Amino acid sequence: MSTATSAGAGTATPATAALTADTALTAETAQTNQHYDLDPRIFGLFLDPMRKYSSGYYREPDLTLAEAQVAKLRFVADRLGLSEGDRLLDVGCGWGALILFMAQEYAARVVGISPAGNQHTYIAQRARELGVADQVTTVQGHFEHAALPAGRFDAVTMLGSIVHMPDLVHVMRRARSLLRRGGRYYVSETCFRNAAARDEFDRRTGTEFVRQSIFGWGDMRPLSDLVRAAEDAGFSVVSVDDLTEDYRRTIDDWLVNVDASAEAIERIRPGMAPTLRRYLEVANAGWGYTTKHYALVCQRSR
């Protein structure tokens, strides 16, 4: 069955009873779930039906948002070389789109970790509805410190979550330690275009709005910082894909949905629709100028 464990627990408990026990992180990083722990209905009103909250993959003409998100998950599986029955850890699992898809489509045994309590209850319910509850486990906590199920993984994924983790080398060393030899590590993240852009735009008004009003703590590093940390952690870099245009199109589709559902979003949380619109507009304004979005794949080769 789908279960959730608290960050300091050693045994599984029902997702509805999961409690965050990770008190070691700073207040800033703890605040990152202020956005992800919002009412699930809000995300259902502007994301795709799987509630996948990261870039789609628009490499075929006229794809809908839902189709692009399925294409992205197949892209991730391909980059990982995922096979039937593989064991996968998704760090920052969100509303479970990736872990539920990999369990359903690839018969993978999956573990998702997130600090946001609402997400675990939702994932447990969806796993039961999809008939994959025996393949899905979730852990509530922060990856840096959380107790995870024993055993090595064939793959570790971080889609849009490493931005909330201060110590890149620590995070990547832990990811590597959890992988079997030959296992792959997938990171997709929004990055400043280069170090100069980071220096210029890191404290601009729009950046601070996203950091403080939406996500709490976050740091968009240049791609070179991610590559250096991966290599310092002992990984071999396998591939780098530029998904900047894909993310721009994803956000365009999200904006259409926010506008179409603004009244319903406002009924759930007054003021949320214009806040979401401003956040998405800030994100889309930077693509290719100040920011990029990359998929980095690494391998534990030894």
Q: Could you read off the pLDDT of 2-43 as tens digits, one per residue?
A: 555 544 333 333 332 233 334 444 454 455 556 777 888 999
Domain count, the chain: 1
pLDDT at 140 over 80: yes
Q: Go through 120-140 and write b for each residue having 16 or more CB atoms within 10 A of its CB, e for each that does not.
A: bbbbbbbbeebebbebbbbbb
Distance, CA of 114 to CA of 20 (rounded, Å): 10
Mean pLDDT of the chain: 85
* Enclosing H/E stretch for 130: helix 117-130
At 165, the pLDDT band (50, 70, 90 cuts) reads confident
Residue 93's contacts (CB-CB under 8 Å, 6 or more residues apart) are 99, 112, 113, 114, 119, 123, 138
- Cα 167–188–286 angle (5° rounding)? 95
pLDDT score recorded for residue 118: 87
pLDDT at 198 over 90: no
* Angle between the N-to-C axes of helices 244-260 and 272-286, in degrees from 0 to 180, rounded to the nearest 10: 160
pLDDT score recorded for residue 6: 43
Comparison of pLDDT for 299 and 165, the residue scoring more: 299
* Per-residue tokens: 231: 């290599």
Comparison of pLDDT for 200 and 270, the residue scoring more: 270
Distance, CA of 18 to CA of 7 (rounded, Å): 9
- Distance set, CA 186 to CA 62, 78, 80, 129, 298 (Å): 27, 11, 7, 28, 7
- Enter the pTM of the model: 0.85
pLDDT score recorded for residue 220: 77
State the CATH number of the domain containing residue 45. Answer: 3.40.50.150
pLDDT score recorded for residue 207: 57
Provide the 8-state DSSP code for 127: H
Q: What percent of the chain has pLDDT over 90?
A: 66
pLDDT at 269 over 60: yes
Q: What are 48-102's pLDDT values in tens digits?
A: 999 999 999 999 999 999 999 999 999 999 999 999 999 999 999 999 999 999 9
Distance, CA of 195 to CA of 198 (rounded, Å): 5
Cα end-to-end distance, the chain, whole Å:
34
* Lowest model confidence (mean pLDDT) among 112-121, 155-164, 203-212, 239-248: 203-212
- Distance set, CA 45 to CA 219, 269, 277 (Å): 27, 12, 13
Comparison of pLDDT for 4 and 275, the residue scoring more: 275
Distance, CA of 21 to CA of 225 (rounded, Å): 30
Among 38-47, 140-149, 171-180, 209-218, top mean pLDDT goes to 171-180
pLDDT score recorded for residue 75: 98
Domain residues for the domain of 204 are 3-299
Q: What percent of the chain has pLDDT over 70?
A: 81
Q: What are 211-259's pLDDT values in tens digits?
A: 555 455 567 789 999 999 999 999 999 999 999 999 999 999 999 999 9
At 138, the pLDDT band (50, 70, 90 cuts) reads very high
pLDDT score recorded for residue 25: 44
Residue 27's contacts (CB-CB under 8 Å, 6 or more residues apart) are none
